[in-house]
Amino acid sequence: MSEQLPIVYVVSDSVGETAEFVVRAAASQFDGGKVEVRRISYVDDPEPIREVIQAAKEANGFIAFTLVQPHLREFIIQEAGNRNVYLVDIMGPMLEAFQNVLQMEPKRRPGLLHQLDDQYFRRVEAIEFAVKYDDGKDPRGLLRADLVLLGVSRTSKTPLSMYLAHKRLKCANVPLVPEVEPPEELFQISPKKIIGLTISPTELNLIRQERLKSLGLKAQANYANLDRILQELEYAEKLMRRIGCPVINVSNKAVEETASIVLDILKRGGTRQS
């Protein structure tokens, strides 16, 4: 019959998730992973370390730590040794390995991994936002968006929204059609958060013809009719002027190029026309 696992104290100068994950992964190899983990996060001075070492000694437990500040690492190693408390340095050996291989000093800033995680989750959230509020699906999303893109069909609103989502911007986009009233929410947000997309009639005509062919439809349909395109572009231009938002001409521009202009406009406070 296996003995009960001891209490493991996780000490970190950041959140401590990395150390706890390693502890639980190791514990899973023993008696189904039943272990009590007590996490002590954001340690930035020696006093909490003294208290944890005392608690671990009294509970006959041990300590796992991820401390990147040298003075804290040295303190916990020395104190645990003096009190005869078992200690596991989770981050130290890996830091030393990278330091030896790369021949450079680590930044020794707590929480960098957690910062990267935050960036990742913000990116995922922005992508989910772009999908949810694509093509005017739910006008309520306009009020929560970092940026709203306007334009007639086939002006790259969706791919641009997705590209900017990877830059952690929550983008919604609204298709402009003369027969459909724009959502009221569009006039409730700052014009600086709105960017209009326009395109040359001839280029849009070619793009729409190719789109119809890919769908197995006749290229002569009204969707690709030049007079219809001119009507749509005129309507979109009037609406964008009414709103007072910046406008980008996406003719012959790759999505990456348009995105760069968008980011520049946002940086300058929504004043540039292109």
Average pLDDT over all residues of the chain = 87
- State the Cα–Cα distance between residues 33 and 75, nearest whole angstrom: 30
Provide the pLDDT confidence category of residue 261 given band limits of 50, 70 and 90: very high
pLDDT for the residue 2: 45
Q: Which of 209, 210, 206 is nearest to 252 (CA)?
A: 206
Q: What total number of domains does the chain contain?
A: 2
Provide the pLDDT confidence category of residue 29 given band limits of 50, 70 and 90: confident
Provide the pLDDT confidence category of residue 257 given band limits of 50, 70 and 90: very high
Model pLDDT for residues 67-80, shown as the tens digit of each residue: 878 888 889 999 99
Residue 41 marked as a ligand binder: no
Residue 192 marked as a ligand binder: no
pLDDT higher than threshold 90 for residue 136: yes
Do 23 and 105 share a domain, yes or no? yes
Residue ending a domain, among 46, 77, 110, is: 110
Does 226 reside within a domain? yes
pLDDT higher than threshold 80 for residue 33: no
The residues that bridge with 171 in the sheet, in sequence order, are 147
- State the Cα–Cα distance between residues 180 and 111, nearest whole angstrom: 49
Do 13 and 94 share a domain, yes or no? yes
Q: Express as a percent the part of the chain with pLDDT over 90.
A: 58
Taking a C-beta distance cutoff of 8 angstroms, is the pair 34, 24 a contact?
A: no
DSSP 252: T
Residue type, 76: I
- State the Cα–Cα distance between residues 210 and 207, nearest whole angstrom: 5
Do 129 and 237 share a domain, yes or no? yes
Residue ending a domain, among 77, 110, 143, is: 110
The region, left, alpha or beta by phi > 0 then psi within -120 to 50, assigned to residue 103 is left
Does 3 reside within a domain? no
Do 63 and 185 share a domain, yes or no? no
- Domain containing 36 equals 8-110
| CA distances for 266 relative to 25, 130, 155, 252, 272, angstroms | 45, 18, 19, 22, 9
Residue 161 marked as a ligand binder: no
Q: Which of 8-12, 101-105, 106-110, 207-211 has the lowest mean pLDDT?
A: 106-110
Does 2 reside within a domain? no
Do 157 and 254 share a domain, yes or no? yes
Residue 10 marked as a ligand binder: no
Does 70 reside within a domain? yes
Do 123 and 204 share a domain, yes or no? yes
pTM of the shown model = 0.60
Does 273 reside within a domain? no
> 36 or 197: whose pLDDT is higher?
197
Provide the pLDDT confidence category of residue 273 given band limits of 50, 70 and 90: low
Q: What would the two tokens of residue 28 be?
A: 């899973």
Do 75 and 165 share a domain, yes or no? no
> 66 or 165: whose pLDDT is higher?
165
pLDDT higher than threshold 90 for residue 262: yes
> 6 or 27: whose pLDDT is higher?
27
Residue 154 marked as a ligand binder: yes
Do 21 and 48 share a domain, yes or no? yes
Does 185 reside within a domain? yes
Residue 170 marked as a ligand binder: no
Does 236 reside within a domain? yes
The residues that bridge with 210 in the sheet, in sequence order, are none
Do 20 and 89 share a domain, yes or no? yes
Does 30 reside within a domain? yes
Model pLDDT for residues 159-196, shown as the tens digit of each residue: 999 999 989 999 999 999 999 999 999 999 999 999 99
Do 125 and 190 share a domain, yes or no? yes
Model pLDDT for residues 190-247, shown as the tens digit of each residue: 999 999 999 999 999 999 999 898 888 877 789 999 999 999 999 999 999 999 999 9
Do 123 and 87 share a domain, yes or no? no
Q: For position 156, which CATH number holds? A: 3.40.50
Residue 157 marked as a ligand binder: yes
pLDDT for the residue 196: 98
pLDDT for the residue 1: 38
Do 87 and 38 share a domain, yes or no? yes
Residue ending a domain, among 110, 143, 165, is: 110
Residue 141 marked as a ligand binder: no
